[in-house]
Structure 1
């Protein structure tokens, strides 16, 4: 793992430095999703810190759902499961509070060049190539949300329509398993918007119906943005309810 230069450590406590170095290793693919990380003694020697300092760094990574402790087995790099996606990244619930995994259908997939705003959000070069896809999410056999998703071609080289249609689990599981990109947090902003003709058609509503527009940026390790998404939620029977951080 590349160690950080002293100049990058100004103002950081020792355990924060260890955490940063561990994130660098995760970002570089040194420890892959589902794999156990080295024993605490080995890591404390590697970073030249006490076991207590190391554990504090690991505690934060566990609290952020980047690592997972399994009693008697060790500490593992988190993997995306359908359940994890549902409770950490899917923030739609029925008005009575019921939360269920959606059925997702791909309706459009293309490779194109990103506009300036998307390039800024993803931190990529102007007019860089991206993959754009549109999904319709259904709950209780009714369409409730349209997702318009953009990812950089440079990070998702070879992404195909077949992969998207035939993936066995969630989209974020595909990112992780096929491209080594682990979504560890999201940033979302919401506003109201009227449905345009295409959104109305996909959701089975009248054009102009009020929708909740949700702007999301998904981040991997070291705050690397890997996905830009705009969702359109029909709130007649469902609502946006983000998970409160613990």
Structure 2
């Protein structure tokens, strides 16, 4: 039996991995300027072109943000263009209207076996359960139930959420240094139960869109599970496919 051939990654991929580690370790914080391509090339002993190719991939993955004439910055959810990156609900007639969040409750509980499995934690571990409603022009359109591993969000309270002036992801990034980098979603049609009907001001049995999202940070570590019930009579769930 012949030994398996070793697998070699291109040099720029190796540099990308080193840059990712620096991001993951917090060497450069969200919104901060990272060293120039020339400085990074000298640091890693490679060409500037190799560094540029690695950064190009990080930019394509929304991990860094190139700004003409200013340099490359660590991407942040507090940037206007990234604030609603994961929000796909848009009004059919006014798609640019942004929602206003109202946080209803924050409770700390033991994770169920299902939630623990999805968040890759132990069933005995604690999670925060956040409930909120999102209103468009004052009308409730989304009811969210959000599970967050308590060990990563120590000190989270309803009062802190109610006082934050950014999106939830922007708040979690700036307050707990947790960045949501990518997410997987499952979507299906459901009927409103009593809690969703009460919050969304509709009748029990009203058709809703249920969106379950698992959000990951570096190294694909799950850091948030969200179930959102969407009222779509005058709204659409929009996405771009590549």
Answer whether TM exceeds 0.5 for this pair. yes
**Could you tell me whether the CA contact under 8 Å between 1:82 and 1:170 is conserved in 2?**
no
**Separation (CA, whole Å) in 2 of partners of 1:53 and 1:90:** 34
Q: Which segments of 5 or more consecutive residues in structure 1 lack a partner in the other structure? A: 1-8
Q: 1:114 aligns with which of 95, 111, 122?
A: 111
Q: CA deviation at 1:175?
A: 0.9
Mapping of 1:178-217 within 5 angstroms? 178-217=175-214
TM-score by length of 1: 0.91
- Asked if 1:93 is matched to 2:95, the reply is no
Partner of 1:145: 142
Higher relative contact order (CA 8 A, sep 6+): 1
**Separation (CA, whole Å) in 1 of partners of 2:40 and 2:7:** 22
TM-score by length of 2: 0.92
**Separation (CA, whole Å) in 1 of partners of 2:42 and 2:117:** 40
**Could you tell me whether the CA contact under 8 Å between 2:83 and 2:167 is conserved in 1?**
no
Q: CA deviation at 1:15?
A: 1.4
- Name which of structure 1's ranges 120-129 and 24-33 shifts more when overlaid on structure 2: 120-129
Partner of 1:55: 52
**Could you tell me whether the CA contact under 8 Å between 1:24 and 1:222 is conserved in 2?**
no
Aligned residues: 237
Mapping of 1:1-246 within 5 angstroms? 10-81=7-78, 83-96=80-93, 98-244=95-241
Q: Which runs of 4+ in 1 moved over 4 A?
A: none
**Separation (CA, whole Å) in 1 of partners of 2:182 and 2:27:** 20
Per-residue CA distance 1:136-182 (angstroms, 9 max, x = gap): 01012111110100111111111111111100111111111111111
User: 1:88 is paired with a residue of what secondary structure?
Assistant: coil
**Separation (CA, whole Å) in 1 of partners of 2:164 and 2:133:** 15
Q: Which segments of 5 or more consecutive residues in structure 2 lack a partner in the other structure? A: 1-5
Q: CA deviation at 1:72?
A: 2.1
**Could you tell me whether the CA contact under 8 Å between 1:15 and 1:53 is conserved in 2?**
yes
